[in-house]
Amino acid sequence: MTLRQAQDIASPILEMRGITKEFPGVKALSDVNLVVNRGDIHAICGENGAGKSTLMKVLSGVYPHGTYSGDIVFEGETAKFANIRQSEAAGIVIIHQELALIPELSIAENIFLGNETAKRGIIDWGRANREAIDLLARVGLRENPLTPVKNLGIGKQQLVEIAKALSKEVKLLILDEPTAALNDDDSQHLLALLEGLKEKGITSIMISHKLNEIEQIADEITIIRDGQSIETLSVAAGGVDEDRIIRGMVGRDLENRFPDHTPSIGDVLFEVRDWTVMHPQDSHREVIRQANLSVRAGEIVGIAGMMGAGRTELARSIFGRSYGSRTSGSLVLDGAELQLNTVTQAIDAGIAYVSEDRKGLGLNLIDDIKTSITAAALKKLRTGLVVDEHKEVVVAEGYRKNLNIKAPSITAGVGKLSGGNQQKVVLSKWMYTDPKLLILDEPTRGIDVGAKYEIYGIIQELARSGRGVLVISSELPELLGLCDRIYTLAEGVITHEFDRSEATQESLMRYMTADARK
Amino acid sequence: MNALLNTLRGNVRQYGMIIALAAIVILFQISTEGVLLKPLNVSNLVVQNAQILILAIGMVIVIVARHIDLSVGSVAAFVGAAAAIMMTQYDFPWWVAVFLGLLIGTAIGAWHGFWVAYVGIPAFIVTLASMLLFRGLTLVVLKGATVGGLPEQFKAIGNGFLPEIGPDTGLHNLTLLIAVAAVGVLIFLEVRRRNAQMAYNFDVLPFPLFVVKLALLTIVIMYFAYLLADARGLPIVGLILAGLIVVYTFIMNKTVFGRHVYAIGGNVDAATMSGVNTKRVDFLVMMNMGLLSGLAGLVTTARLTAANPKAGVNFELDAIAAAFIGGAAVTGGVGTVVGAIIGGLVMGVLNNGMSLLGVSIDWQQAIKGLVLLLAVAFDVWNKRRTAGSGGAGAEAAEPSAPPPDKLAEEIEAMEAELSVDSNDPPKT
């Protein structure tokens, strides 16, 4: 063994020490430490929102040096990346969950995009295509480099991304949820490829929710929870199984973060039967398969699932088929079967949907509080053609007082409110439609603790008034604290139904990460 | 004094273009040595710019709904040509031709609306196609020639004035009466609105400023009316325009439809998820632009006393410029009818003033281009500046105003209807 090799084994390729990253009002990362050994496949696990992606953005220079505190030591040198270009030059390449390929361009064009084999600005396409063929061979993809990327399946596109990374002389490859969108065969192929790269000396960091895959491939696992690095487990040392990882991911105490609530639950109010939804662009891909669920009057029902499990897709397909194609199955509300083809019909039938995407789908950010609150139920304010502005003010003031919306006045723009107050405006909007069933998708995402408590109180009040509430959340403590019943969803399949008394974070996590399609 | 400055600062966006218009008027009034505001010139200013202002009303609505309409000039020319042919070659009564002309315009607008809303082709493409299509059809209908010999009643739409009534005072009595009535209604509405806003504890202009504002408005309207009355009285087209401004301001501010236009312009996805029938709104907005294009075509033909194959060229650009100078946002969701009218007047006064100064047409074009760019740049700068104040966390700094006493009872009554039990509000 040469001295050089000995050094390689002894020294880690990457050390991140005491990384702290703050956004206005939120501490996303707090004193995170990560050590990645050369030639390893290092997995990072954690719940949604734990800070995994933020950590990788710090590492790859998306958040430039100076916007975080702590040190990054890469290849023995302190790294101060100002942008992605510099981190790539150092040999760190990140492949994001949403692929960054341009569908209309060819494989070769995509591989060398931003890194063109050019002389004085003129691209040498012959050389580019020859090199592309070599790179494709290395990732085991037998395709003509002139093929447009849009003609490839999602699995092959993933391989093109990796080929692109290889073209940049990658030393450390970061994969964010690489198998989330892949089927089993493609996933196995990708994992095999990663092991092949490992043998060629390329270190990988892999973020994944699929614990069985992590167990299969990773050398070490770092667990991140609530913006802190909790522990690093060595798979080689043994004793690491899915249960052990889950315990690390969720291991925190349930604080007393919920208002007191005594549920009074009535008869079945809403039922979803044999609900199957296809992907809107790919009408053969099942996003939701044969889902059955029910909500009783006065009941808060939770849906637990990892990102990409189909939670939002399920909710939106119920809400007037605002997602999906070839939707089949039936919806029953108050004993009557519903035929909902548009959002308007869903609202008229008494269904409300509070989107997870508050700024994209929930609010018109250039509007004021008053207009936002009445936007979904203008019918109720209409006399003839005209909006009754006096009644509108009364309604808006009523909700502002009732839900404690903190703003100088109801004519204040919603774009300037904090997340919690924006969410209260959205809730007001849907409460004013007087729904029988409310579907709340991530109702407390991006909201501080105090406002969360208030939102929980509002949700409980809605249930107490005899409405059915369906809550989708990534935060398991939130579901456990709030819900009377919880369904787990994995890969578009409802995998289990828990009563409040029998659910724990560990048991939920087990069914959320289950291999549902087998 | 500080309060005054703060109020002005907060309202720069609202009043900026009015101030700019006033500045341009004063500038040209001085440089033309008083010719700009001579009664006859003011009268001409209204008559010559009416068709652009009519189009600007429709265009700002289209732009608020995040679309564009490039075809308005061609559609105006086509409708004018069709009406002229109906009256001269088929001897249709003038009012039948006007009615059918408006119908044709609406049908063309509905055609645009179909492609934009229901097929999903960008309005830029659809109306670019129509710009070519209807310019061609205009030439076909007119066989490339100018068609004149129109009935007098029709020509009055573009060139006529209101009849004189009452004793000979040297001024046009009816015009002055209309102006007095308009000022009365305006003051009544402004006072009523201010009272309503005060009842809701909204921010209002301090009373002295409010009086100054009303006084200024009154002076401007009455002086304008005096100038018109000193010339030939209120042009018929001016009356049409005033009616359109009132009706469309009402539609955009007070009706459900107007709300929906602003909603889809601000965030079309959020509007869809709130149950707005976005396709129907898109369709109606484009159809309305067709109707107003038809009207503008009739007015133009009447003013020129003939249908001309080259009529309406560049109308679309003037109308779009008017909307943007008047504060409309390219991204949609922002813009007002009154703003577009002010934007159109800025362009009109620039045209007129430069013509009076003997600036050649080519230089006029160039200067108008720069004015458009500067106006929008000012708007962008102003928005960025006001976005800086306030921002996230602003609500923490400013305490919530409590609901005013008068409203409290109604709100209490309302709470019975609200879903959350008011006896047990969420605790913090």
Domain CATH code at residue B243: 1.10.3470
Partner residue opposite B421 with nearest CB, options A25, A390, A465: A465
Instruction: Please give the backbone phi and psi of residue A213, each rounded to the nearest 5 degrees, phi first.
Output: -70, -40
CATH fit for domain A263-350+435-518, picks 3.40.50.720, 1.10.645.10, 3.40.50.300, 3.40.50.180 = 3.40.50.300
Share of chain B above pLDDT 90, in %: 60
pLDDT at residue A357 in the model: 86
**Does residue B428 carry a pLDDT above 60?**
no
Contacts of A346 in chain B (CB under 8 A): 275
Q: Return the amino acid letter for B136.
A: G
- Cα–Cα distance measured from residue B327 to residue B343, given in angstroms and rounded to the nearest whole number: 8
> What is A326-365 written as a DSSP string?
EEEEEEEETTEEE---SHHHHHHHTEEEE-S-IIIII--T
The answer to whether A287 and A308 are in contact (CB under 8 A) is: no
Q: pLDDT digits over A313-322, tens only?
A: 999 999 998 8
| Domain membership flag for residue B51 | yes
Global pTM value: 0.79
pLDDT tens digits for range A184-202: 778 888 888 889 888 888 9
Reported as type and span, the H/E element at residue B300 is: helix B278-304
Question: Which chain B residues contact residue A361 at CB under 8 A?
Answer: 269-270, 273
Whether B323 maps to a domain, the answer reads: yes
Look over chain B and give the mean of its residue pLDDT values, rounded to a whole number.
86
B301/B257 Cα distance (integer angstroms):
31
Average pLDDT of the residues in B272-298: 95
Which structure tokens are listed for B59?
A: 């265009």
Mark which residues 194-253 of B lie under 8 Å from A by CB: 196, 200-203
Q: Which residues of A touch B257 (CB under 8 A)?
A: 385
Among the residue ranges A327-341, A414-428, B191-205, the one predicted with the least confidence is B191-205
Q: Is the pLDDT of residue B357 over 50?
A: yes
Whether B264 maps to a domain, the answer reads yes
In 3D space, the residue among A351, A355, A263, A334 whose CA is nearest the CA of residue A301 turns out to be A263
Do the domains A3-250 and A263-350+435-518 sit in the same CATH topology, yes or no? yes
In this predicted structure, the answer to whether residue B307 has a pLDDT above a threshold of 90 is: yes
Please provide the DSSP assignment of A208-269 as one string. -S-HHHHHHH-SEEEEEETTEEEEEEESTTS---HHHHHHHHH-----S-S--------SEE
CA A2 remoteness from chain centre:
45
Contacts of A463 in chain B (CB under 8 A): none
Task: Measure CB to CB from residue A457 to each of B273, B276, B427 and give the nearest one.
Answer: B427
Per-window interface: B 366-395 vs A, CB < 8 A: 390-395
CB hemisphere CA count around B294 (13 angstroms): 22
Distances (CA, A) of B217 to A209, B42, B179: 66, 18, 12
Q: Is B189 on the interface with A (CB under 8 A)?
A: no
Q: Which residue has the higher pLDDT, B181 or A179?
A: B181
* pLDDT given for residue A182 in this prediction: 74
Mutate to test the interface with A, among B189, B201, B273 (most CBs of A within 10 A): B273
Q: Which residues contact B306 (CB under 8 A, 6 or more apart)?
A: B84, B146, B147, B148, B149, B150
Place of tokens 């964010």: A176
User: Do A467 and B419 lie within an 8 Å CB cutoff?
Assistant: yes
**Which two tokens mark A251?**
């291991």
Q: Tell me, yes or no, whether B393 lies in a domain.
A: no
Angle of helix B361-388 relative to helix B337-356, nearest 10 degrees? 140
- This complex has an ipTM of 0.80
Per-residue pLDDT tens digits for B220-267: 999 999 999 988 889 999 999 999 999 999 999 999 999 999 999 999
Q: Worst-scoring range by mean pLDDT, A379-388, A427-436, B108-117, B255-264?
A: A379-388
- β partners of residue A486: A302, A498
Record the tokens describing residue A32, joined without a space.
């995170």
Determine the Cα–Cα distance for residues A509 and A500; give it in Å rounded to an integer: 15
pLDDT in tens, A8-49: 455 789 999 999 988 766 678 889 999 999 989 999 988 766
Decide if B273 and A355 are in contact by the 8 Å CB cutoff. yes
Tell whether the torsion through CA atoms of A51, A57, A60 and A66 is positive or negative: negative
Domain boundaries, chain A: 3-250, 263-350+435-518, 361-434
Asked if residue B422 has pLDDT above 90, the reply is no
- Tens of pLDDT, residues A108-124: 989 988 777 777 778 88
Confidence of residue B389 (pLDDT cuts 50, 70, 90): very low
- Determine, for residues A360 and B270 on separate chains, whether the beta-carbon distance falls below 8 Å: yes
- Measured between CA atoms, the residue of chain A closest to residue B383 is A366
CA atoms of A92 and A115, how far apart (whole Å): 15
- Per the structure block, which two tokens stand in for B82? 């069709």
Give the span between the Cα atoms of A261 and A217, in whole angstroms: 45
Domain enclosing residue B336, as ranges: 2-160+235-381
A276 Cα to chain B: minimum distance (Å) = 21
By C-alpha distance, the chain B residue nearest A25 is B393
pLDDT band at A2 (very low <50, low <70, confident <90, very high): very low
pLDDT of residue B393: 36
Check whether domain A3-250 has CATH 3.20.20.80, yes or no:
no
Looking at chain B from residue 295 to 334, which residues have their Cβ under 8 Å from any Cβ of chain A?
333-334
Contacts of A375 in chain B (CB under 8 A): 259, 263, 270-271, 274, 276
Shortest CB distance from A416 goes to which of B273, B392, B422? B392
A389 to B266: CB separation less than 8 angstroms, yes or no: no
User: Residue B152 domain-assigned?
Assistant: yes
Q: How many domains does chain B have?
A: 1
A417, A434, A454: residue with CB nearest B426: A454
More confident site: A477 or B6: A477
**pLDDT the model gives residue A189:** 86
d(CA A324, CA A288): 9
Which of the residue ranges A128-132, A421-425, A447-451, B408-412 would you say has the lowest mean pLDDT?
A: B408-412
Residue B144 belongs to a domain: yes
The shortest CB-CB distance from A364 to any of B202, B267, B428 is to B267
User: Is residue A42 helix, strand or coil?
Assistant: strand
Confidence (pLDDT) at B105: 97
Give the separation between CA A344 and CA A364, rounded to whole angstroms. 18
Q: Does B416 touch chain A (CB under 8 A)?
A: no
β-pairing, A122-123 with A118-119?
antiparallel
Token duo for residue A423: 């969410």
